[in-house]
Amino acid sequence: MPTTADVTTTNAELIIEDDPQISSCKGLFNDFKESFSKSMIQGNMKQMLTDYESMCEQHYQLLRRLLTKVVPGQEKFVRTVEMMNLVNQERCTWRLLTSLFADREQAKTSQPMEVSQNIVTAQDLICHLYDNDAKVRQAQLVVDWLEQNALDQLEDIYDPVKFFTDKMGAWWNTLHALNQKKPSFHSERTHVTKLDPDAPTRQKLPLTDLDVEDEGRLSNFIFACIQAGQLDEAQNLCTKVGEVWKAAAMEGWRLYHDPNLSGLGQGGTLNPVSGNPNRDLWKTVCWRLASDEKVSRCERAIYAAFCGHLEALLPSCKTWHDHLWAFMRVFVDQRVEEHLHTHYVGLRPLRALPDGFASKRISVESVFQELSSSTNEDVRQQSKYRFHLIQQYIILSDMDSLVEEVHEWARDEAHPPAPQFLRCLAHLLLFLQATGATSKDGQVAAVVEAYVSHLIDTDQRPLVAAYVATLPSHLQVHLYATFLKGIRGTEERKSCLKYAEESGLTVNSITRMLVETVRSENLAEATCSDTNQVSDSDQEKIDAIEWMTFDPLQRSEAMKQANAIMRSFLASKKLLACKKAFDQLPVKSIDVIFKNTLQQTGNTELSNEDGNAVKEYLCIKAYLDAHDAFNEWFAHYHGRKPTLPEPPSAANYMERVAHEHRVKEHKVEVAQWQSSLDQLTKRAEESLYNVLLFVTGGWMVDQNDVSQEEGGRLHQMRLLRQLCLPQICFLLHTVLHSTKQHHACLQLADLVASENHLLYRSFGREELQKLLSKIRESCLELLDAKLDPLGYELA
């Protein structure tokens, strides 16, 4: 990810050329995964939230810098602005959760305390309130959070430089007009004749137009500073422009505190006193100013922010966050004043609260009802924004409702969450689940599953396993197996299994489900496609075997799955596909299985299932070897026999000599051909007999007892015997008959009928008739050779 320092005008345009969700912010996916995995291992949830906020901050600053380097107006520029706003909202959400999570965790171990007699000052009393009332404390945290968010935007909205001029002093335009004793700038309006702070109110006359404009701009900036928690900045500016009384007026809210009431300082010295001892009186005056309609709206809002005057505060608030700040600030103010008036014992009684102060007692729950039904259309609409709803549920600590809402968003196919928003939602719910803040595990899993699907669709393979590992075990196996189906290439497959192992997934179960799933697909195609070709679905099954060959400890299971795939190929007469599947298993797989057994049990005696799997594997090998041997013999017998050269017609002496030479060469070639044929015939006979006379019970017959669960496998093996053994007999007869071993052909009947091998059980009526017909042909050949039908010489 490029840093903000790396962005130049040139590369900014290149980055903007790409979709901002893919280019500048793609790194968030990996960054969040790294932080999530690390924090889960360490069990440090607080650090997780801090990391999330920090990463969003970095990308937000990067996007801001991008926008300053590119000409506005382009469509991608607009999308980048939208992405910047989304990242900013996410940053603010993590910031809110960080603040409230820390407080709520601490509150679990703290015990409320009664008001002590040692609490003698207003400041101590309110500190006690904050320590013991979680709602007030957390409401103040929300106010602090909103002010921090506003501070981030303050420098983008207001520039304090515009308040500074060469002529420093309050209302200097009006002063200049008074000194000139004529209206300023030829204005016919009358204005004040005095310049004390109360003059406009007392005389009911305005300042000059330019000063009125300056006052409005100054009031807007002061209010923005208050919203951003920058009271000192506002007071400093008031002092610099000569309106010191405004700076002083904003100082009276501080709670009175005399530490000397609890004891003197070191050496009996007096400690400094802080706060306003007449705060109640000051607050009454603020309330009156906030209620005075002759005062400008923004200035009324300034005083309203200090005295809890909600009606005067809201008109200057524009956005949902502004209104939330106003309500939460008034909520805290109400609770503070109620606590002071209930418990404060001072030298004099506190003045009664202004009329209307407690006319509408606010609760945190009612705040959001007010926002959703606000008379301000923009605020009502913004109440439906998804990030605002998330923040609402976090503030209310209603995490189950939050999870349900997010779950509905993830299911909304008409308006699915944007990728970056989906990432935020998934990590938010995973955090809530990890901290025990929600019991909606099913909905959390559904949202995470949607996020995993996005990671798979966008080919972010290294990230998938970490999130699959957070799901219930049955979903882990299914989802990761589905993901692995799309992976091609041996090295990529190894990497994906490594990610799964590092994330704690059960790799063996996953690869087994993967192979079984692939095996069960496209069954209809498997029975009807060309037996001489390997279809795409066949190749997918063959490739699936590789997944189980990476781990030597899984080799026995790999052999069982490979056997099952090869059985289906043999049943469909797909020898080429079966050979490829056989070659997919490493050559020394049987040795690996015995080695694993020795390590696990201390001996080399295989379990019944493993023993049967090894035998079945050898049966298939014998069958494939038999077909290979027959095909090689057949090709040599029918296609490679040298052709006798034709004698020349009416040839001269030289041509006759050349022909005699070719005949001699032909004899040599025939001898070589016959020698090779004898070897191939012997190999073909042995290979075909190996199938028919397979040891330990016969071909495709288990040597050990099996469980009832393998009934389907046993049925398949019986069908394969019925399909393959007659065919092997016919191929063997072809070899023997073609090489004039007619007596051996007759012995095939004895072999099939033998009770030792029970081959006749695999023959149907048609196969037996066909075999007898072939044996009859061999008998006729014997008769033509002057032998009896059994191959013996006639007496």
pLDDT at 185: 47
CB atoms within 10 A of CB 265: 11
Q: What is the CA radius of gyration of the chain?
A: 45
Kind and range of the H or E run holding 95: helix 75-107
**Amino acid (one-letter) located at 315:** P
Q: What is the mean pLDDT of the chain?
A: 88
Handedness of CA 623, 624, 627, 629 (dihedral sign): negative
Contact call for residues 394 and 402 (beta carbons, < 8 A):
yes
- Predicted local distance difference test score (pLDDT) of residue 10: 43
**d(Cα 29, Cα 424) in Å, to the nearest integer?**
9
Pick the closest to residue 510 from 536, 544, 541, 542 (CA basis): 544
Write down the pLDDT at residue 677.
93
- Least confident window among 142-146, 150-154, 501-505, 631-635: 150-154
- For 122-261+273-377, CATH gives 1.10.3450.20
Residue 255 φ then ψ, to 5°? -70, 140
**What is the predicted pLDDT for the residue at 160?**
54
Instruction: Quote the pLDDT of residue 159.
Output: 61
Cite the DSSP H helix spans in 257-317.
Answer: 279-291, 297-307, 310-313
Q: Which residue has the higher pLDDT, 713 or 23?
A: 713
Per-residue DSSP letter, 645: P
Q: Which tokens hold the place of 14?
A: 């290149």
In the chain, the N- to C-terminal Cα span, in Å, equals 98
From CA 97, how far away is CA 50, in angstroms rounded?
10
Residue 746 reports pLDDT greater than 80: yes
Query: Which of 26-30, 341-345, 425-429 shows the highest mean pLDDT?
Result: 425-429
DSSP state of 116: P
Q: How confident is the model at residue 192 (pLDDT cuts 50, 70, 90)?
A: confident
Question: What pLDDT, on the 0 to 100 scale, is given for residue 773?
Answer: 93
pLDDT of res. 623: 98
Higher pLDDT, 715 or 108: 715
Binned at pLDDT 50, 70 and 90, residue 184 comes out as very low
- 706: pLDDT strictly greater than 80: no
Give the pLDDT mean for 420-436: 96
Domain locations along the chain: 1-110, 122-261+273-377, 506-605, 608-795
What letter represents residue 485's amino acid? K
Distances 771 to 424, 631, 684, 704 between C-alpha atoms, Å: 72, 20, 19, 32
Instruction: Identify whether the C-beta of residue 789 lies closer than 8 Å to the C-beta of residue 750.
Output: no
How far is it, in rounded angstroms, from Cα 753 to Cα 760? 6
pLDDT at 433: 96
Per the model's pLDDT, the better-predicted residue between 794 and 231 turns out to be 231
d(CA 334, CA 326): 12
pLDDT of residue 761: 94
| Backbone torsions φ then ψ of 494, nearest 5 degrees | -60, -40
State pLDDT tens for residues 659-704.
788 888 889 888 999 999 999 999 999 999 999 999 888 999 998 8
Q: Mark 553-585 as b/e (b = at least 16 C-beta within 10 Å).
A: ebbbbbbbbbbbbbbbbbbbebbebbbbbbebb
Judged by average pLDDT, the poorest of 67-71, 339-343, 373-377, 764-768 is 67-71
Q: What is the DSSP string of 183-212?
A: -GGG--S---S--STTHHHHHT----HHHH
Distance CA 81, CA 76 (A): 9
Using a 10 angstrom Cβ sphere, with 0-12 exposed, 13-18 middle and 19 or more buried, the burial of residue 57 is middle
User: In terms of DSSP H, where are the helices of 18-133?
Assistant: 27-42, 45-69, 75-107, 122-132
Residue 94 is predicted with a pLDDT of 98
| Residue among 291, 218, 285 at smallest CA distance from 252 | 285
- Cα gap 559→606, rounded to integer Å: 14
**Of how many residues is the chain composed?**
795
The Cα–Cα gap between 553 and 154 comes to: 62
Residue position matching structure tokens 């201390």: 602
User: Which tens digits make up the pLDDT trace of 207-259?
Assistant: 888 878 888 888 999 999 999 999 999 999 898 888 898 999 999 999 888 77
According to CATH, the topology of domain 608-795 is Delta-Endotoxin; domain 1 (1.20.190)
**pLDDT value for 118:** 64
Residues 1, 29: Cα–Cα separation, whole Å? 11
Give me the pLDDT at residue 204, please: 81
Indicate if the pLDDT at residue 15 is higher than 90. Answer: no
pLDDT in tens, 387-417: 999 999 999 999 999 999 999 999 998 899 9
Q: Which residue has the tokens 């997934």?
A: 505
Q: What pTM did the predictor assign? A: 0.84
In the prediction, which pLDDT does 14 show?
A: 46
What percentage of the chain carries pLDDT values higher than 70?
89
Tell me how far apart the alpha carbons of residues 332 and 326 are, in angstroms, rounded to a whole number: 10
Report how far residue 91's alpha carbon sits from residue 51's, in angstroms, rounded to the nearest whole number: 10
774-794: average pLDDT = 76
Q: Residue 653 to residues 276, 645, 650, 658: CA-CA distances in angstroms? A: 141, 17, 10, 9
Could you read off the pLDDT of 250-305 as tens digits, one per residue?
Answer: 999 998 887 777 777 677 778 888 888 899 999 999 999 999 988 899 999 999 99
Which carries the bigger pLDDT value, residue 13 or residue 586?
Answer: 586
pLDDT per residue over 587-596, tens digit each?
A: 999 999 999 9
Phi and psi angles of residue 257, each rounded to the nearest 5 degrees, phi first: -150, 120
pLDDT of residue 19: 57
- Tokens 């040839």 sit at which residue? 651
- Contact between 122 and 344 under an 8 Å Cβ cutoff? The reply is yes
Q: Are residues 448 and 57 in contact, defined by beta-carbon separation less than 8 angstroms?
A: no
**Which residues are paired to 175 by β-bridges?**
none
Give me the DSSP letters along 336-403. Answer: HHHHHHHH---SSPPPPPPTTTTSS---HHHHHHHHHT-S-HHHHHHTT-HHHHHHHHHHHT-HHHHH
The residue ranking higher by pLDDT, 291 or 68, is: 291
Nearest to 30 by CA among 597, 464, 574, 376: 464
Pair 464, 426: CB distance under 8 Å: no
Q: Cα–Cα distances in Å, from 758 out to 58, 515, 618, 704, 736?
A: 77, 34, 20, 18, 22
